[in-house]
């Protein structure tokens, strides 16, 4: 079972990035899946997740209207499209998978984690 995150990098404020998270050994569509991030000196926080089989999605208030979570079931891959990036979005971004019903508030309940990909927003 593995989650492989990629797509991070250096981008200027106002720019865009798309993060990817490829799953192997299990089917993403059977799990709650989400993105979390951790900035230097701060706790890990939830960014966005798909919580249930009906596709219910949730976003942190800080990213609503700018970030979009999606999946490609054929590729068993999770994405996070990030637009209008701000310096405060700078962090290591992690993808995670866990039982249905999980949200953004309890990262410790997710079972599987990717290795993280660094996003730096700076001019």
8-24 confidence digits (pLDDT tens) = 999 999 999 999 999 99
Residue 1 CA to residue 61 CA, distance in Å, equals 31
Instruction: Determine which helix (DSSP H) or strand (DSSP E) holds 49, and give its type and residue range.
Output: strand 45-50
- Which ranges of the chain would DSSP assign to H, the alpha helix? none
Q: Looking at the predicted structure, is the pLDDT value of residue 111 above 90?
A: yes
- Residue 120 region by backbone torsions, left for phi larger than 0, else alpha for psi between -120 and 50, else beta: beta
pLDDT recorded at residue 7: 98
31-51 per-position pLDDT tens digit:
999 999 999 999 999 999 998
Beta strands 32-38 and 45-50 are antiparallel
Query: Could you tell me which of 3, 96, 109 has the C-alpha nearest to residue 50?
Result: 96
Residue 82 CA to residue 110 CA, distance in Å, equals 22
Q: Looking at the predicted structure, is the pLDDT value of residue 66 above 90?
A: yes
Residue 15 CA to residue 109 CA, distance in Å, equals 32
């Amino acid at each position: 079972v593995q989650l492989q995150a990629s797509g991070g990098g250096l981008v200027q404020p106002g720019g865009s990035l798309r993060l990817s998270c490829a799953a192997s050994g299990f089917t993403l569509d059977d799990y709650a899946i989400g993105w979390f991030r951790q900035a230097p000196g701060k706790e890990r926080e939830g960014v966005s997740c798909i919580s249930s089989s009906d596709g219910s999605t949730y976003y942190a208030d800080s990213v609503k209207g700018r970030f979009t979570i999606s999946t490609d079931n054929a590729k068993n891959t999770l994405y996070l499209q990030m637009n209008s990036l701000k310096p405060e979005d700078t962090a290591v971004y992690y993808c995670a998978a866990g039982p249905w019903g999980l949200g953004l508030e309890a990262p410790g309940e997710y079972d599987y984690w990717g290795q993280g990909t660094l996003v730096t927003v700076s001019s």
